[in-house]
Structure 1
Amino acid sequence: MVTIRTKVTLRRRGNLANHLAKIEKGVQGPKAVKVGFPKGKADADVVSVAIWNHFGTSRGIPSRPFITIAMFKNRREIRAALRKIAKNTVDTGAPIAAQLPKLGTFGAGKIQDQIAANTPPPNAPSTIRQKGSSRTLIDTGRMRQSVTWEVDK
């Protein structure tokens, strides 16, 4: 699991009690989104292939940590999106849960982009012969198409 933290500073004038009540209402409910292959959202065989490719196996599949790479490469954009969500909740009282789908869609897209990016190390010659392609992480495209998200309840 990747955890990204952000900080928000409150600068507000007016009735603090009303403002805090609005913020309190906005932070009720879900506050997280799961991105990748959430339980029940992808077939078990696709999840297995994703795990084997991400972590590698003792049977010769090298580790290609595509989810970790995608989150690390895009951490600044993710933090900016989290700040925007927090600011919107602080400023307007907009529920965090209502803003999470956009973040989930963004994260899933970044993982799909990383899968398509031909993540090293390169495929073995035997794999290239078997697949008919040197592209890593993509054979039929099913794993890439299965990347999704869900609001964590």
Structure 2
Amino acid sequence: MSFTVEVKRKKRVDLSKVQTSLRGPKKVKVGFPAGEADSDNIQKAVWNEFGTRGGASGGGWGGPVPERPFMRNAMRENTSKYRNGMRSSAAKILTGKTSITVVLSKLGIMAQGDVQQSITSLSSPPNSPATIALKGSSNPLIDTGEMRGAVTWKVWNG
């Protein structure tokens, strides 16, 4: 007993386009890239993301800053959205209808907005009463909005 299988393609794929579309960057970085972000914003982001012990080790108003993981929260809450975006773009990349650079750029814009939203919406742990009195706001991660505005993305070839 034997059988034959014939595969018919509706559209022929030009393999040279596939190879070209797979060249280019491999990652998108979101946050506060060194050399592009202001060092004060990087420092504020690190203090808030991981917390401090206060005093000489840093802190907003000299006291300890509790851990407020706005970046990790944004990535954890949106991982499936990013994965689905890459999955839906795979066929377009392979058929040469788009490039990895374009897809990663769209992903970077999306993730930048998610991190900024995480900064805006994070409310716990709350500011201390002394911090609220000094800055005039109870939003833990927003004083002037400068750190939130500094969040960016960069397509990277590493």
Say yes or no: does 1:13 pair with 2:9.
yes
Q: TM-score, structure 1 length as denominator? A: 0.84
For 1:119 and 1:47, the matched residues in 2 are separated by 20
Cα distance change on mapping 1:25 and 1:14 into 2, 3 Å = farther
Segments of structure 2 that go 5 or more residues without pairing to the other structure are 1-7, 55-63
2:41 is aligned to 46
Segments of structure 1 that go 5 or more residues without pairing to the other structure are 1-11
Say yes or no: does 1:116 pair with 2:120.
yes
Secondary structure of 2:95 counterpart? helix
2:91 is aligned to 87
Residue 112 of structure 2 contacts residue 153 of structure 2 at CA under 8 Å; is this kept in 1?
yes
Deviation above 4 Å: which 4+ runs of structure 1? none
Say yes or no: does 1:105 pair with 2:100.
no
Cα distance change on mapping 1:109 and 1:15 into 2, 3 Å = closer
Identity %: 43
For 2:124 and 2:14, the matched residues in 1 are separated by 50
Residue 25 of structure 1 contacts residue 93 of structure 1 at CA under 8 Å; is this kept in 2?
no
Q: CA deviation at 1:81?
A: 1.1
Secondary structure of 1:35 counterpart? strand
Match of residue 76, structure 1, among 77, 80, 87: 80
RMSD: 1.9
Deviations 1:18-57 (A, max 9, x none): 5443222111010211111112221011100000000000
For 1:119 and 1:19, the matched residues in 2 are separated by 52
For 1:38 and 1:82, the matched residues in 2 are separated by 23
Figure out how many residues of one structure are paired with residues of the other and give that number.
Answer: 141
Q: TM-score, structure 2 length as denominator? A: 0.81
